[in-house]
Amino acid sequence: MKKKIFILMSIMLFISCNNNNQKKQLRLSVNMHPTTLDNRKNGDVSSSLFLFMLFKGLTEFKQDGSVGMSLAKSYDLSEDKKTYTFHLRDTKWSDGKDVTAYDIEYSWKKILDPKFPSLCPHLIYSIVNAKKAAKGEVSLDAVGIKALNKKTLVVKLNTPTPYFLNITSFCIFFPIPKHIDEKYPNWENDIDKYVCNGPFKLKKIDYNKEIIVEKNPLYWDSDTISIDSIKVSIIDNENTTLQMFENGDLDWVGAYSSPLPVDGIPYILKKKEHSIGQIGGTTFCTFNIEKFPFNNKNIRKAFGLSINRKAIVENITQAKELIATRIIPPVLMNGKNILLYKDNNTKKAIEHLEKGLKEIGKTREDINITFTYGSNIIHKKLAETLQENWQKVLKINVKLEQL
């Protein structure tokens, strides 16, 4: 087996393998069982990983970062750039039924149904009346999504939306089989009734242990799929993940879905097989701006300006990440890393803190902060660093709580 290690900035490790056996299986891992295998309910990284294997949408991102056609073979855009007409190619669901424009209309409108447990209806708000429908102010029939026939879908937007084709490549926009959903509302929890249209289909689900998908022979572009199956192990410990890779039990580890132990990054960087690339990801803190003390913008600024990002990327993440003073990563800005303010600006941080305390009539002793963080090792290390940073610079006590 030949392995290649590919480290993406933000602590991502990618290993591709060439298996000379007749049956080619790619062995991956994720750190949590997917919360859903229904595109419309999706809102997490682990679920997205599987949904991109199992389904396809109108468009898809290509290897060079451009957006190309997938279920749609072409589209027309009106002169005012507010109406897309998609023309679908001939494709099949894994049960042999045709994938139609009616499936897409049904799926998208279901996401906007106020009674449906969708996490991301806002992604569709660029479509006419989508936001009003999600709030129950208009009927779903008033939404600008209409299948004219099996192969033609018309989408009307509120305003010209240059990124619309991009977001249709995201998995919540992938259709689900209308004929299955109407007959078996709980189909996503029954592997015998699970129908999809992507390059792979479900073969086995062992909760919190492993999920196996196998090549879908009815996928319209199946000739391009060289892997027979993908086995995904559910592993919630970063050290175990790396050890399994070292033992030859995994072919691909890393990314947000399968994080690596931060202490192992220097070791990984010394391996001759590794290479480094970028991803469109940013790590950031969020404040509850509706409650004291972060309902004051100067106190928020103080906490933001006092962070030593350079020390974090050099001593904790260690994968040559760029520091971020804005939410949009450079890879989405043609490589530009625009810094909106000075990193580790302790002088300004203290000035904003004192100004904010004066505005709200409080002292440092009145502020009690609880900072919550996730279960990965890197989350804990980041939280401890931020805690130390804020207490040292701002002289404010910060309590940590793992969720």
- Residue 70 inside a domain? The answer is yes
- Residue 388 inside a domain? The answer is yes
pLDDT digits (tens, 9 = 90+) for 147-192: 999 999 999 999 999 999 999 999 999 999 999 999 999 999 999 9
pTM: 0.81
Q: What is the pLDDT of residue 269?
A: 81
Q: Across the beta sheet with 210-215, what order do the strands follow? A: 25-30, 229-234, 210-215, 200-206
Q: What is the pLDDT of residue 281?
A: 82
Give the CATH number, domain containing residue 139: 3.90.76.10
Q: How confident is the model at residue 390 (pLDDT cuts 50, 70, 90)?
A: very high
How many domains, in total, are found in the chain? 3
Query: Is 50 in the same domain as 191?
Result: yes
- Residue 284 inside a domain? The answer is no
Q: Can you tell me the distance from the alpha carbon of 221 to that of 338, in angstroms, rounded to the nearest whole number?
A: 40
Q: How confident is the model at residue 257 (pLDDT cuts 50, 70, 90)?
A: confident
Q: Can you tell me the distance from the alpha carbon of 114 to that of 122, in angstroms, rounded to the nearest whole number?
A: 12
Domain boundary among 168, 183, 198: 183
pLDDT above 70 (res 264) = yes
Give the CATH number, domain containing residue 326: 3.10.105.10
Query: Is 330 in the same domain as 393?
Result: yes
Q: Can you tell me the distance from the alpha carbon of 49 to that of 32, in angstroms, rounded to the nearest whole number?
A: 11
Domain that holds residue 45: 2-56+185-277
- Residue 282 inside a domain? The answer is no
Q: What is the pLDDT of residue 275?
A: 67
- Residue 272 inside a domain? The answer is yes
- Residues contacting 22, CB < 8 A, separation 6+: none
Q: How confident is the model at residue 300 (pLDDT cuts 50, 70, 90)?
A: very high
Domain boundary among 122, 156, 183: 183
- Residue 95 inside a domain? The answer is yes
Residue 146's DSSP bridge partners are 154
- Residue 338 inside a domain? The answer is yes
Q: Can you tell me the distance from the alpha carbon of 120 to that of 126, in angstroms, rounded to the nearest whole number?
A: 13
Among the residue ranges 19-28, 298-307, 308-317, the one predicted with the least confidence is 19-28
Q: Can you tell me the distance from the alpha carbon of 368 to that of 219, in angstroms, rounded to the nearest whole number?
A: 55
Query: Is 78 in the same domain as 131?
Result: yes
Answer yes or no: are the C-beta atoms of 66 and 169 closer than 8 Å: no
